[in-house]
Structure 1
């Protein structure tokens, strides 16, 4: 366990840095409650599981080798993030919440599965994650680690990610934060929507 400690510490620092996943869990928890936020968190961790598994079995190298495959994944992710950001911004300026619609990144008010889907696609929309995991494992994963050890590392990574976002969801759904969201919901939605839209634009492949 001590040999994998640097990797796990580096992962915790990385996952704690605010990004689209953080914004999705934070905003959903404040707007719809802890249960909805936790559903988003579980979806985010599901995306992490996909990317981390790809890196552990060497698919990150395949994606890096075949540039066209990476560009396709990245373009789809960029479009998804931008569309969700635009939807949030439109809802903010029109004075209503965008979640009342449908689509892969548009959860409805009552479905925990829809919130889970939001978390999953928010994470999967960023293909840079598989490159990050590949670099993380290449530099910090102990050489010669057994299959059982790799499974253990994967489990620890997912547990850390889930624990962090449970804390975020719990804090964001507390009474003071919910009250603040109700007072400044439009401004918060503008910031959240901008984060998603700008991230989507930033992910668009450029020659």
Structure 2
């Protein structure tokens, strides 16, 4: 029971604290619409499943014990966030969709954004490793650990779906779309800063 409560608590904290995942879901929801937001959230949930899988397979232990490998993964994630941020900034536009409810992002593109943002996110890596290397014990059954993984992925997915529904309400979305250019540029700068921040901490003692 203590393990379960700890997993749920960590999931809530990791989901709610703003980071690259939150920025991408918010941006895609406001610009691409509700379906884009939900698909971005699904991509994040699927990526978290990847983190859970390698943590369960024991690869997480190897990563946690190898500073070189862990820092390499951090740099890859940082580079992706910087690339995504710069792309978002450069493609920012004042142009409004002909219909405020129409989608300007395909579901698959939104899913890819969510997936790659999370799968290269060191915070998600540490989240999975902290659960399966520190919270659970060798006596925890495999199926129980898989259940924890499902709780983690579905919990994060559910949170971002809620975020999507809140920010795609007509009044909220229309208000944001009136400042579309600066909103997209702001999200681009934030993602770039997230990436730079991750790169700057590479090599630090963990």
Inter-partner Cα distance in structure 2 for 1:47 and 1:119: 8
Q: In the alignment, what sits opposite 1:22?
A: 22
| 1:63 maps to 2:58 | no
2:9 paired with 1:9 = yes
Partner of 1:105: none
Change (3 A) 1:175 1:194: same
2:167 corresponds, among 169, 172, 186, to 172
Q: Which runs of 4+ in 1 moved over 6 A?
A: none
Give the count of matched residue pairs: 196
Alpha carbons 1:4, 1:141 under 8 Å: kept = no
Kindly report which structure 2 residues correspond to 1:25-36, keeping only aligned pairs within 5 A, or say none. Answer: 25-36=25-36
Contact 1:87 1:193 in 2 (8 A): yes
Please give the alpha-carbon distance, in whole angstroms, between the structure 2 residues aligned to 1:149 and 1:136.
12
Q: How do residues 1-207 of structure 1 correspond to structure 2 at under 5 angstroms?
A: 1=1, 3-92=3-92, 95=94, 109-141=104-136, 144-204=139-199, 205-206=202-203
* TM-score between the two structures when normalised by the length of structure 2: 0.85
Q: CA RMSD in A?
A: 2.2
Q: Give the gaps of 5 or more residues in structure 1.
A: 98-107
Show structure 2 runs of 5+ residues with no match: 97-102
The 8 Å contact of residues 29 and 36 in structure 1, kept in 2 or not, is answered as yes
Distance 1:96 1:71, change over 3 A: farther
Q: Deviation per CA, 1:47-86, whole angstroms, max 9, x where unpaired? A: 1111122223321221123333223222221111101101
Q: CA deviation at 1:196?
A: 0.5
Give me the whole-angstrom Cα distance separating, in 2, the residues matched to 1:183 and 1:66: 47
